Amino acid sequence: MHSAVKVLYFDTAATTPVAPDVLTQMVRILSGEQGDANPSSTHLPGQTAAAIIAAARAEIAAELGAEPDEVIFTSGATEANNLALQGVALAHAAQGRHLVTSAIEHKSVLACCAALERKGYEVTCLTPNRQGWVEPESIRAALRQDTLLVSLMHTNNETGVLQPIAEVAEVAAEAGVLFHVDAAQSAGKFAIDLQQLPIDLLSFSAHKFHGPKGVGCLVVRNRRHLRLQALMFGGSQEFGLRPGTLATHQIVGLSAALTLAARRREADLPQVAGLKRQFLEQLGSRQPIQVHGDPTHCSPYIVNFAIPGISSTALINQLATEVALGSGSACSSGAVEPSPVLRAMGIEDESLYGAVRLSFSRDHTPAEVTLAVERIAAAAQRIQEFAC
């Protein structure tokens, strides 16, 4: 009998599976074993749920070097980015109406900027260098008297290139401008210490580090002094910034996943870096590959490359039942347009249309990487032979 080929999942930048330990903790809440009452209710079961949330909030804050009351739970990084950009812009409109960001940001940042522009704000959108990172000096040069906020991601979701957030944080702090970091692709994976880095607002989603989908955070440093306008109204939850009944199981899942990621980080980073190195060496020995983005300032979790002469659509179609990988980012993969991120980096058309993204996880094994390489190389060969 014909046994089905197991699809190898190499699209962890889009989402990761929930870690078993995280799931166990979530099920404890969902099953009613503990903490399934409304955490805003004042009765005893409500207080139990509120205490569980308080513990999770404190755990998340401690991991990031923040205070518990600086952690605002959201549905994910998209909502956190919206709250950061629009919340700051709307609350500070009297002081200025200018924001600085980059052309390689996630759509949730760029679309917020576009929405603010329609409301009369001005946005300077900086292009990265060819290596895929934004020069801190270009940010300094873009700052104006009326600049309210700089928004720059930490790890780019398409190329994995790390942005110089420490330097940019200094630039923003010197100018007295708020600094927002979209850390969706780096939270959990890299240590982020807000005691050390003068970042004012930090966004992330739990499902990028083996937590559940539909929950994330906006960390607002000095929340009592940083004015943010709520985007939704209807309740006093989350200090009035994000109304609605808190999802205890999601929040527990987020904190459990972050704690687990932090505990494993020292071992996971070199292990995943080894998998990426192995992938590039093995595929590079089978096919010529062009890697996009600065290899020295890059997350080990993401690689973006093209095989000359092979379009990403053809490769992804060939691999549909064998290897799950990304073309550009998952959020824009329905579109035929090549990646605006790679275009902004000045990548030539041929390579642009061939760009695919593989993203690794701590759960991958070297044997799976070898198998993925074999399948990708074989698919590329089939396409090359067909084209002859």
106 touches ligand PMP (CB under 6 A): yes
Assess 11 for contact with ligand PMP (CB under 6 A): no
Please report, as residue ranges, which positions from 310 to 339 form the binding site for ligand PMP (by CB under 6 A). 329, 331
Distance separating alpha carbons of residues 189 and 265, to the nearest angstrom: 6
Interaction residues for ligand PMP, span 41-70 (CB under 6 A): none
Is 86 a binder of ligand PMP (CB under 6 A)?
no
Bridge partners (DSSP) of residue 234 are none
Nearest CA to 189 among 255, 296, 132, 266? 266
Shortest Å distance, C-beta 25 to ligand PMP: 20
Output 192 or 373, the one with its CB closest to ligand PMP: 192
Question: What tokens appear for 112 in the block?
Answer: 């917020």
* Alpha-carbon distances, residue 303 vs 93, 264, 276, 361, 362 (angstroms): 40, 21, 7, 12, 15
Q: Catalytic residue at 113?
A: no
Kindly write out the interface string for residues 196-215 of this chain, putting x where it contacts ligand PMP by CB under 6 A and - elsewhere: ---------x-x--------
Using an 8 Å Cβ cutoff, are 252 and 346 in contact?
no
User: Could you say which DSSP state residue 70 is in?
Assistant: G
User: Which neighbouring-strand residues pair with 217?
Assistant: 73, 204
Contacts of 173 (CB under 8 A, 6+ apart): 179, 198
Instruction: Pick one of 23, 49, 56, 77: the residue that binds ligand PMP (CB under 6 A).
Output: 77
Candidates 9, 12, 61, 76; binder of ligand PMP (CB under 6 A) is 76
Contact 224, 204 (CB under 8 A): no
Q: Does residue number 247 form part of the binding site for ligand PMP (CB under 6 A)?
A: no
Catalytic residue among 112, 125, 217, 331: 331
SS3 221: coil
Report angle CA 316, 8, 282 to the nearest 5 degrees. 80
Shortest Cβ 235–ligand PMP spacing (Å): 21
Q: How far is the CB of 15 from ligand PMP (least distance, A)?
A: 8
Residue 101: beta bridge partners? 125
* 3-class secondary structure, 176: coil
**Which tokens in the block code for residue 53?**
């949330």
Q: Which is nearer to ligand PMP, 197 or 373 (CB)?
A: 197
Contact status: 359 vs ligand PMP (CB under 6 A): no
For 9, the 3-state DSSP assignment is: strand
Among 12, 78, 82, 248, binds ligand PMP (CB under 6 A): 78
Complex with ligand PMP: residue 134 or 153, whichever CB lies closer: 153
Interface with ligand PMP includes 153 (CB under 6 A)?
yes
Which residue stretch of 73-81, 128-136, 217-225, 334-342 sits at the interface with ligand PMP (rule: CB under 6 A)? 73-81
82 binds ligand PMP (CB under 6 A): no
Measured CA angle at 38 (ends 227, 249), to 5 deg: 85
C-alpha angle with apex 383: 343 to 288, nearest 5 degrees?
60
Q: Which of residues 126-145 bind ligand PMP (CB under 6 A)?
A: none
Which region among 44-52, 177-185, 225-233, 371-379 touches ligand PMP (by CB under 6 A)? 177-185
Residue 157 in the binding site for ligand PMP (CB under 6 A): yes
For binding to ligand PMP (CB under 6 A), which residues are involved? 76-78, 106, 108, 153, 157, 182, 184-185, 205, 207, 216, 329, 331
Active site residues: 331
